[in-house]
Structure 1
Amino acid sequence: MAGLTVTLTAVKLNGVTVERILPTEEAYELLGLTREIAEGELAPRAARYEQEGEFPRDVLRTIGRAGLLGLPYPEADGGAGQPYEVYLQVLETLASSWLAIAEAVSVHTLACFPVAAYGTERQRKSLPDMLGGELLGAYCLSEPQGGSDAAALTTRAVRDGDGYVVTGTKAWITHGGQADFYNVFCRTGGPGAAGISCLLADADTPGLLPQAPERTMGLRASPPAQIVLDDARIPADRLVGEEGQGFRIALEALDTGRLGIAACAVGLAQAALDHACAYAKERTQFGKPIAAFQGVGFMLADMATQIAAARALTLAAGRLKDAGRPFSTEAAKAKLFATDVAMKVTTDAVQVLGGAGYVSDHPVERWFREAKVLQIVEGTNQIQRLVISRALTRD
């Protein structure tokens, strides 16, 4: 996909004047293409894939060939050179039709970050295939005993000649068993964040052993899995960045990943609101549509307002990133608020539909189950509150 021409204008974000990248007419055409794919290709397949637990690898290849898997990366690397503001709207649109696809795009974009930002010239030669969707990525940071406390990870890599021998277990890995490459965060040094490095492992690495997929509440078409590393030998030239730089790489990637999850949450919430509104206009009780009753109408109004606020907060954080300003705290706010909104809106959508919302004949039942995971991935919402509170009280 050709890069879009963008224009700049001065705006104030959080009291700071910055140059904002304005989407052009071509960006709106991109969003139109995304809507066509979402409505024509994704929405008709979502229910069946989720019911059968079938991973949509063919769909992701289609998404990649349409240019939607490398949007925020430079054209020189095989990406589309898009502003994050545009990328986040693409994610929202995809999520409104099928959350598993939007989450896969977000996670894959996250998985490409280490090589794109810190990779060697040799490693970067794989970027066109990564960003084009021919190679699917996974991000291996969490462990069974160390989810939120990532700096305490225990997976260890020991240098042995021209490679590293890696031993440990990674948990909750999206695309586990499906990915073509894995970012493995492991301990090459002493305790704490300073001892962590990032290794890029191919899926066929001996000793890299994906386990059975988890049995999840939602996102059944893309369940996570543990990755066991049993003396897995990864060549030394697959070290991303320098030894001891892994934790920094991980946190930088998570900042952008949180924006992606926030956009997914907005899209899911919007889908739930749209379905609830349509149902409330058609369902009649006591001689009139239930939307005419304040008890329902006010609920729909609150849902719409919360979604609008979540969208605005998410895009504002994306604009800060586009402008080259610090955005970590704003990303945490967006992820916290948007995912809480998604949980509330999908809960209320089930309530609007009443008994019909509790059965799988309507998709709000599935959206309700899917919303929960968004409050957990890319750092739980409790961790987001910790990030925000520390920023508020930092000298």
Structure 2
Amino acid sequence: MVQSTVAVQEKSGVMNIPSWWNCPEGFEELQKLAHLLGEKELLQRSISSDLEGRFPRESLKEIANAGYGAVTIPVEAGGLEQGFTAFSVLAESFSQYCPSSAMCWVMHTTTVHTLYDAGTEEQRKKYIPGVLKGDIAALAFSEPATGGHFWNVVSEAPRNANGYLLNADKSFVTSGGEADFYIVATSFPDSDDKDNLMYLLVEKDQEGIESSSFSAMGLRGNASGPMKFKNVQVPFENRIGGEGGAGYYNDNTVDPLFLLGSAACWVGIAQGALNAAIYSAKKKVHADTGSSVAGYQVIRHELAKSQILIDSARSMLYRTAKALDGCQEKGLELSECLYPLWQLKTHAADMVITVTNAALQVSGGRGYLTGQVEKFLRDGRAGALMGPTNEVLREWIGRTLIDVPWMDEV
């Protein structure tokens, strides 16, 4: 069982970890509520979701019922104060119980924020009340032809008398076939903008939508399978933004939210795996030595090294989230934070691989059996592969360091 990090038991002579080290100041109650929700609702479904490849619809509904359907949009529209930090706290906490639920929720939140930023007031009024009550939103961006370079699409949606005729093959759509609506990235062939990227909102019951089953190494509940949009007629009123120019929202909405939220998931997965390893190491006693596994110095050192790695990524996470909140408060573009976001995602995705491997090693043969630690290892391995992949991000970071354009040929 995953052990909660909310409460620290008082014991004589035992060093207590300061609460500010694990949670940004002012968010302690939100973190506590998130862990309670995780223990009560997410954890009980996480194993069956993984084993059966079942989409965690019930867990996502409970997250919405708790008031977390659209946390990063302005408070008056249904969001939370300091929404990016709140988003990070929630994503990290949820991931310690059900990474699939957390990742679906991260992509949902990113989609909702994109709708809010790029959409019209009429579109906000039409769709945001639903997501506050549990409707699920998703992004359909990456395409087989361009792989992890999800910002480049080859699909097109030319204009006709009734709107746009969308034909697009999408490779990995989190909540694919399960979401209530999708923001689809495509191109407008007759755009006057040199950036011909365009967003279209497609509802789940429109004719011409096909989704395929998803079977993967980890995150098996998040339905991130391929989708096809075949001659889908999208009305003019469901265009999100202009006929081109959507690259602006990739840099200022989609990337910031996705990189922040996914990094929070990798931190949470790593902490969840380590918590499980600590629990088993304390519980398991060797009959021949009379010592628990945690009684061996080498084990304690592995635990310490892993926690230091987690906390380094967590510190980057909350520092970056605070900066994003500051940008929003000052009316600055979120792209101001892209460079630290690249570093954050790369470090968190590398870190979770190292920590989940260590958690498995500490857990011994029992950790290798199907269960929490083994599942966390599989779930966390996805991070470095998600676009922008860690290799792409390191190239962008390196280019920035030598003062050359980061978005040139990768």
Q: Which TM-score applies when normalising by structure 1?
A: 0.89
Unaligned runs of 5+ in 2: 1-23, 405-410
RMSD: 1.9
Whole-Å separation in 1 of the counterparts to 2:366 and 2:186: 47
1:303 pairs, out of 300, 306, 309, with 306
Whole-Å separation in 1 of the counterparts to 2:108 and 2:194: 24
Q: Hey, what does 2:396 align to over in structure 1?
A: 387
Whole-Å separation in 1 of the counterparts to 2:204 and 2:326: 36
Q: Hey, what does 1:367 align to over in structure 2?
A: 376
CA contact (8 A) 1:357 1:365 kept: yes
Whole-Å separation in 2 of the counterparts to 1:157 and 1:188: 6
Q: Hey, what does 1:277 align to over in structure 2?
A: 278
Whole-Å separation in 2 of the counterparts to 1:151 and 1:172: 13
Whole-Å separation in 2 of the counterparts to 1:314 and 1:80: 18
2:348 pairs, out of 321, 331, 338, with 338
Whole-Å separation in 2 of the counterparts to 1:185 and 1:54: 26
Q: Give the secondary structure class of the aligned counterpart of 1:126.
A: helix
CA contact (8 A) 2:85 2:325 kept: yes
CA contact (8 A) 1:118 1:241 kept: yes
Whole-Å separation in 1 of the counterparts to 2:204 and 2:194: 26
How much does 1:151 deviate? Answer: 4.4
Q: Give the secondary structure class of the aligned counterpart of 1:61.
A: helix
How much does 1:298 deviate? Answer: 1.1
Whole-Å separation in 1 of the counterparts to 2:194 and 2:171: 19
Q: Hey, what does 1:321 align to over in structure 2?
A: 324
CA contact (8 A) 1:79 1:128 kept: no
CA contact (8 A) 2:72 2:113 kept: no
Whole-Å separation in 1 of the counterparts to 2:271 and 2:140: 30
CA contact (8 A) 1:262 1:314 kept: yes
Residues 205-216 of structure 1 correspond to what in structure 2 (within 5 A)? 205-210=206-211, 212-216=212-216
Q: Give the secondary structure class of the aligned counterpart of 2:109.
A: helix
AA paired with 1:394? Answer: D
CA contact (8 A) 1:73 1:81 kept: no
Q: Hey, what does 1:291 align to over in structure 2?
A: 294
Q: Hey, what does 2:13 align to over in structure 1?
A: none
Q: Hey, what does 2:100 align to over in structure 1?
A: 100
Q: Give the secondary structure class of the aligned counterpart of 2:234.
A: strand
How much does 1:358 deviate? Answer: 0.8
CA contact (8 A) 2:270 2:356 kept: yes
How much does 1:114 deviate? Answer: 2.1
Q: Hey, what does 1:122 align to over in structure 2?
A: 122
Residues 35-184 of structure 1 correspond to what in structure 2 (within 5 A)? 35-184=35-184
AA paired with 1:281? Answer: K
Q: Deviations over 1:144-163 (max 9, x none)?
A: 12123334411110100131
CA contact (8 A) 1:257 1:378 kept: no
Whole-Å separation in 2 of the counterparts to 1:156 and 1:247: 15
Q: Give the secondary structure class of the aligned counterpart of 1:97.
A: coil
Q: Which TM-score applies when normalising by structure 2?
A: 0.86
AA paired with 1:128? Answer: I
AA paired with 1:300? Answer: L
AA paired with 2:262? Answer: I
Whole-Å separation in 1 of the counterparts to 2:325 and 2:239: 28
AA paired with 1:261? Answer: S
Tell me which moved more, 304-313 or 150-159: 150-159
CA contact (8 A) 1:78 1:127 kept: no
AA paired with 1:206? Answer: E
Q: Give the secondary structure class of the aligned counterpart of 1:268.
A: helix
Whole-Å separation in 1 of the counterparts to 2:280 and 2:135: 41
How much does 1:95 deviate? Answer: 0.5
CA contact (8 A) 2:277 2:363 kept: yes
**How many positions carry a matched residue from both structures?**
370
How much does 1:31 deviate? Answer: 2.1
Whole-Å separation in 2 of the counterparts to 1:138 and 1:86: 20
How much does 1:227 deviate? Answer: 1.3
Whole-Å separation in 2 of the counterparts to 1:314 and 1:358: 30
Q: Deviations over 1:304-339 (max 9, x none)?
A: 100010100111111111111621111111111111
How much does 1:97 deviate? Answer: 0.9
Q: Hey, what does 1:33 align to over in structure 2?
A: 33
How much does 1:133 deviate? Answer: 4.4
AA paired with 2:366? Answer: A
How much does 1:302 deviate? Answer: 0.4
CA contact (8 A) 1:79 1:131 kept: no
Inter-CA distance 151–311: structure 2 relative to 1 (3 Å threshold): closer
How much does 1:137 deviate? Answer: 0.8
CA contact (8 A) 2:164 2:234 kept: yes
Whole-Å separation in 2 of the counterparts to 1:215 and 1:387: 31
Q: Deviations over 1:186-210 (max 9, x none)?
A: 1103799712111111111221222
Inter-CA distance 111–151: structure 2 relative to 1 (3 Å threshold): closer
AA paired with 1:218? Answer: G
How much does 1:214 deviate? Answer: 2.1
Whole-Å separation in 1 of the counterparts to 2:53 and 2:194: 37
Whole-Å separation in 2 of the counterparts to 1:31 and 1:378: 28
Q: Give the secondary structure class of the aligned counterpart of 1:275.
A: helix
CA contact (8 A) 1:375 1:381 kept: yes
